[in-house]
């Protein structure tokens, strides 16, 4: 139990286009999900906390208009990278807290390459 | 602020070798400490954790002890296998900021050769 599914696993897009990444909790409800970004040879950095039915909470330095987060249901959060540029190329990973005893559960991540 | 520093990889070992991946942290108060593992093509999985000083987390032959005096949480395994090849992340949750924000180290890629 407590599986988080992330899709797509890899995506290549052209500069200026937008890309949507989905994060689904398959067997539990997640009122809160977390979006991380990892640069090569760097830590996973928390970008934002996604809250079901309300606005996401962004970490300092993360552009809200660039990284749009929608958490419209208890099992789905989406991250849309708008007007993507090559510097947005990175590994994005989502996480949720299923509840007592499970700890943080992570998706398998999305490798975004902007060309 | 809160931060985690891991030994830089990649680390390459032969099967049955002894493994140590160093992890030190900076945090206010008494954070909880974690090791996560990411196998190729998969998400991060919790490997082990420790929530207070001198606690030892263990799982699948891996161990790590919460050392407050040295602010460390080094990961060890006595005899590694090829199947242990993965990326390992040390992380903490800072108590003061609440339990929901994980702070990660940069990850250490481990490759075990047969």
Q: What digits encode the pLDDT tens for the residues B56-80? A: 999 999 999 999 999 999 999 999 9
Give the C-alpha distances (Å, rounded to integers) separating B10 from A88, B14, B67, B103, B105.
24, 13, 24, 21, 14
Contact yes or no for B46 and A44 at CB 8 A: no
Q: What is the pLDDT of residues B11-49, one digit of tens each?
A: 999 999 999 999 999 988 788 899 999 888 777 888 999
List CB contacts (< 8 A) between A46 and chain B: 101-103
Q: Which residue has the tokens 């093509």?
A: B41
The predicted structure's pLDDT at residue B99: 45
- Neighbour tally for B83: CB within 10 Å: 10
CB contact under 8 A, B43 and A46: no
The rounded distance, in Å, linking the Cα atoms of A47 and A57 is 9
Picking from A41, A103, A109, the nearest residue to B43 by CB comes out as A109
Least Cα separation, residue A16 to chain B (angstroms): 28
CA dist., res. B103 & res. B26, Å (int): 10
Could you tell me which residues come within 8 angstroms of residue B106 by beta carbon, excluding any fewer than 6 positions away?
A41, A42, A43, B5, B6, B8
pLDDT in tens, B75-111: 999 999 999 999 999 999 876 544 467 889 989 999 9
Spans in chain A with pLDDT lower than 70: 1, 100-102
Q: Is A51 on the interface with B (CB under 8 A)?
A: no
């Amino acid at each position: 139990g407590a599986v988080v599914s992330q899709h797509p696993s890899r995506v290549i897009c052209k500069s200026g286009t937008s890309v949507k990444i989905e994060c689904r909790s398959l067997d539990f409800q997640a009122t809160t999900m977390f979006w991380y970004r990892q640069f090569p040879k760097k830590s996973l950095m928390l970008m934002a906390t996604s809250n079901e039915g309300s606005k996401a909470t962004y970490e300092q330095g993360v552009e809200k208009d660039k990284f749009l987060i929608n958490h419209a249901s208890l099992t789905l959060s989406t991250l849309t990278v708008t007007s993507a540029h090559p510097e947005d190329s990175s590994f994005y990973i989502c996480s949720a807290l299923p509840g007592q005893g499970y700890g943080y559960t992570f998706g398998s991540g999305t490798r975004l390459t902007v060309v | 602020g809160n931060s985690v520093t891991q030994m830089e990889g990649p680390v390459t070992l032969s099967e049955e070798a002894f493994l140590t991946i160093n992890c030190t942290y900076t945090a206010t108060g008494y954070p909880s400490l974690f090791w996560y593992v990411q196998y190729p093509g998969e998400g991060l999985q919790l490997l082990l954790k420790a929530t207070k000083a001198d606690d030892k987390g263990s799982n699948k032959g891996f161990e790590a002890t919460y050392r407050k005096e040295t602010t460390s949480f080094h990961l060890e395994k006595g005899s590694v296998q090829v199947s242990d090849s993965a990326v390992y992340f040390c992380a903490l949750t800072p108590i003061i900021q609440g339990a929901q924000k994980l702070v990660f180290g940069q990850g250490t890629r481990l490759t075990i050769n047969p």
